[in-house]
Each structure stands twice: as C-alpha cells, then as structure tokens.
Amino acid sequence: MSNTTTTVRPPVVAVMGHIDHGKSTLLDYIRKANVVSTEAGGITQHLSAYEISIPYQGAERRITFLDTPGHAAFTGMRERGATAADIAILVVSAEDGVKAQTIEALNTIRDAKIPYLVAINKIDRPGANIDKAKQMLAEQEVLVEGYGGSIPWVAVSALNGTGINELLESILLVADLEEFTCSPSALAEGLVIESRLDPKRGITATLIIKDGTLKKGQFVVAGSAITTTRMMENFLGASVQEAGPGSPVQLVGFDVLPEVGVPVKVFAKKREAEDYIKEVSTGNDYSVTKGGAVGDKVVPIIIKTDVFGTAEAVEKEIGKMVIEGLHVKIIGRGIGAISENDIRLAQSDKDTIILGFNVALDARARLANEAVGATVETFTIIYKLTEWLEIELEKRRPRIETREIIGTGKVLKTFSQTKDRQVLGCRIESGSLSDGAKVTIIRRDFPITTGRIVELQQAKQKVKEVHEGECGMMVECKNDIAPGDILEAFIFVTK
C-alpha cells in the first residue's frame, strides 16, 4: 500500500444521541427520505449507512452517515457505529438538554477516540433554550466553541432545515483538519455494519469501505464468511461496479452470516480468501451463559432476529437480567424466521424459551410446536421483549419453602384431654397465635412434637387470633402437653 497514491477520503459520520432528540429526523432531512415511520415504536432499530454529495469550496464533496440506534438496548450496535466512524455528531435537544442516553453516546464517542461536534436540535420549539443545553453539556465536560471550549457546535432544526448546511460544512471542516486519506487503487478494507438473512436473496451484509476500492470479480472475507462481488449494490439498492473509500455497499451471497463490526478483507483470488479464513477463523459458539452461580437452575434461550445486530442487542439485554436462583444460557442464536430446527432444539428442555424479534414462526415450526409445546414469543419492540422475559424468568425461578415463626405462647395450665385434643391455658410471649395455626411444642429448649390449634378463646369468647395477654385454647396433638411448655406457631413461606 505504500506504493499507491493517497488522496482525501470522504468522512464517515456517526449520528448519535438520545432516542427523542431528533437523530433520525435530522438524517431524514439530509437524505430526503423517511425511516422513522417504518420503525416499530418510533425507534431506529437497524444500523444503516447513507451517502450524500454537497458543494464545498468549489468542489463536490461526499459524506457518509451512519444512523446508529439511539435506544438504550442498542448500546452494542451504537458502539460498533462509533468504531466504524471517523467523526461523530452528538445530537442534543434544545428543549430537554442532556439525558442519560446522551451521556451514554458521549462515553461511546470518547471511548472510540474520534473527533465530534454537537448539533443542538429542535431550536424551532417554543421551549428551546440553547444556553441551557450548552450549560448541561459543560457539566459533562463538553465545552463548545464560544462557551469556554473548542468543540464545534451548530444550532439546527431537523424539522425545517435551519442550520443543516452549516452542520454539513462543519463536518467537512473537521474532516479537513483530521486529514483523512486513502489509497483508492489498493484492495478494499472496511467493516461490516449490518447483516441479515434475506428470504429471497440469501445472506446479505452492508459494509463501509474505509480504504481502497471494491470491484467486481473480487472475493470478500468478513470474519469467517466469504462472498464474491457479483451482486454489489449501493445504499439506494442500485447495482454498482465498484465502491470506493468512504462508501457504504451491500453484498449478497455470503456463505454464513458475518458478525456486525468484523473487519473486511478483499482478495483477487478465491483460494487466497479461503486460506485467509483458515488462518483467522475461530468459529462461532453461541452457548453463552449469562450470570448465575454453581447449582442455579439453567433456563435455555434461543434468539431469532431479522438482522445480526439486533440479536446482539437482545443478548446484551438478557445479560443485564439478574434473577436469584437461576441463570440464562443462550443455546442458539440466528437470523430469520423461527424454524422447525429451533423447536426441536427447545424440545430437550421444557424450560427453554424461544424469542423472536421482527420475525415469525414459519409454518413447519408452528406445526411442530403443536406437539412440543415450547414457549415461543415474538416481538417488534425491544422493551416489550425484556418486560415479558423478566416476568417469564421469574415464573421459572426455583422456589424455596422456609419455616417462619409467627408467635409463641407459654403453657400456664392444662385442663381436660379427649383423645388427641387438650385444653390449655396460655400466655402470649411474642407475635400472635391464631385459630388453625400449626405449632411446635418445645420443652426445656427441645422440640418434642407438633400440633395444631383447633379452637381459641379470650375473655371466654371464641376468637380467631390473640396478640397479647392470656387465652385458652384447644390443641390437637399426639403427645401430652405440660405447664411450662412453649407453643411456637409457624407457617411455611415460599420465596
């Protein structure tokens, strides 16, 4: 690569921030398309890339945007987005200021060690307060230009387009200062930012080319997955002959599903690509145990989603759940509809849960499950999945029955005895004694037998419970009870 000519590379930009601060609306305005209305729950749930071209200082310049999910459940995908990016935009609402997810996004940007700028959005709203937003950012050690620091910022309205041109120019200014370069004539290198199983076309993956040029007739390796460039499309879905530095490109026909975030290597010959896979491949093991201690009950889980990044996000959410007495073991994870094989895998353990996200049961799986009866649930919104799963795991939690003492009484006098029943006079020592309670009879600190209170009186009146003072009672017991014995009432509690 040292002998190839270098040139300026278009920047790859990650747009990050809180779910409700207008991230997707900002991108909608920039690319003149709409993704929000097609996403369940209004959440952008898949990592995508979009390329634009704008006039800048007398020339056409390209910028690639990564739309990283803003929901808290998609932290893993958001982290991948920042890794793939050269520059980040931290979107902050002029109304709400800094929120918890804003801080998450900020930490991700800092961890990735990439330059960033701030877009203070929603300046068209009646409650907009730009100075307040700057102050809240300063409290997170984000000091913008003109407010004691050097971090670029732009006031924008993603709704009506105010400040968008200035934002794009600021991105290119930061890119020029960073001096991103590439070697277009070299073999392409990049990252996988999305992968999915398309029912009609097979396994597809979206790549960001970070250097070199991807051309028809080459072989692409992503982790342990391999494909040719026979079916290569740009972000609009149009077939292309090549994809240069900074460009997003979709490839169709991988032999296995590439993991999101894995590096991409390109080879001129298939043998070279296969040899490379043999050297670096470590295989996939989805038997991942989440939490728990030795001896805890194991709940197997199978995850099926429409794209790889979502499976990763679901698994991350499961990893956060802590249920006493059990742990979760991911025994399967895949892309596409819940299949008959998934049902058969679940058959080995009645506690297995199959979770589907943006997928359904295929017909054969539905038929197979009529016989197996596995627990299968599908969702389109992540927090609905986690809410349901927490309840379901709680049902499976092993219960422990413990003996709790609810009261004690001291025997003062014994009266009549008929068969197994004795009439006693007692004084309450602690707690309470109630009609029907089970009791342990203790003599000189040693339990000698158990019995049950079958009648209880106080002040010559039948009562259900006595909390203090003296009382009379009839106790059903096989052994004789003597004055001085202690009656210890107890219940069994399941926890």
Position 279 confidence tier, pLDDT thresholds 50, 70, 90: confident
Decide which of 413 and 319 is more confident.
413
**pLDDT digit string (tens) for 450-488?**
999 999 999 889 999 999 999 999 999 988 899 999 999
Query: What pLDDT, on the 0 to 100 scale, is given for residue 269?
Result: 92
Residue 296: closest CA among 329, 327, 330: 327
Query: What pLDDT, on the 0 to 100 scale, is given for residue 82?
Result: 66
Handedness of CA 286, 290, 295, 301 (dihedral sign): negative
Single-letter code of the amino acid located at 434: S
Q: Which of 86-90, 342-346, 353-357, 431-435 has the lowest mean pLDDT?
A: 342-346
Q: How far apart are CA 306 and CA 335, in angstroms?
A: 5
Decide which of 48 and 181 is more confident.
181
Instruction: Find the mean pLDDT for residues 87-93.
Output: 94
Q: Which domains does the chain have, with CATH numbers?
A: 9-181 (3.40.50.300), 189-280 (2.40.30.10), 288-396 (3.40.50.10050), 401-494 (2.40.30.10)
pLDDT reading at 118 higher than 50: yes
Q: How far apart are CA 438 and CA 475, in angstroms?
A: 9
pLDDT reading at 205 higher than 70: yes
Strand partners, 495: none
Instruction: Find the mean pLDDT for residues 344-358.
Output: 88
Query: What pLDDT, on the 0 to 100 scale, is given for residue 1?
Result: 41
Residue 265: closest CA among 209, 347, 313: 209
Please give the structure tokens belonging to residue 186.
């070299």
pLDDT reading at 337 higher than 80: yes
Residue 301: closest CA among 210, 386, 190: 386
Count of H-run helices and E-run strands, the chain: 10, 31
Query: What pLDDT, on the 0 to 100 scale, is given for residue 70?
Result: 58
Instruction: Find the mean pLDDT for residues 303-325.
Output: 84
Whether 353 contacts 333, CB under 8 Å: no
Query: What pLDDT, on the 0 to 100 scale, is given for residue 287?
Result: 40
Position 47 confidence tier, pLDDT thresholds 50, 70, 90: very low
Instruction: Find the mean pLDDT for residues 55-66.
Output: 89
pLDDT > 70: what percent of the chain? 90
242: enclosing H helix or E strand: strand 242-243
Position 208 confidence tier, pLDDT thresholds 50, 70, 90: very high
Single-letter code of the amino acid located at 257: L
pLDDT reading at 357 higher than 50: yes
**pLDDT digit string (tens) for 220-246?**
999 888 999 999 998 888 899 999 999
Distance of CA 48 to CAs 45, 101, 178, 234, 293, Å?
9, 20, 24, 12, 39
Decide which of 68 and 66 is more confident.
66
- Between the ranges 86-95, 310-319, 485-494, where is the mean pLDDT highest? 86-95
Instruction: Find the mean pLDDT for residues 151-155.
Output: 96
Query: What pLDDT, on the 0 to 100 scale, is given for residue 95?
Result: 93
**Average pLDDT taken over every residue of the chain:** 86
Position 288 confidence tier, pLDDT thresholds 50, 70, 90: very low
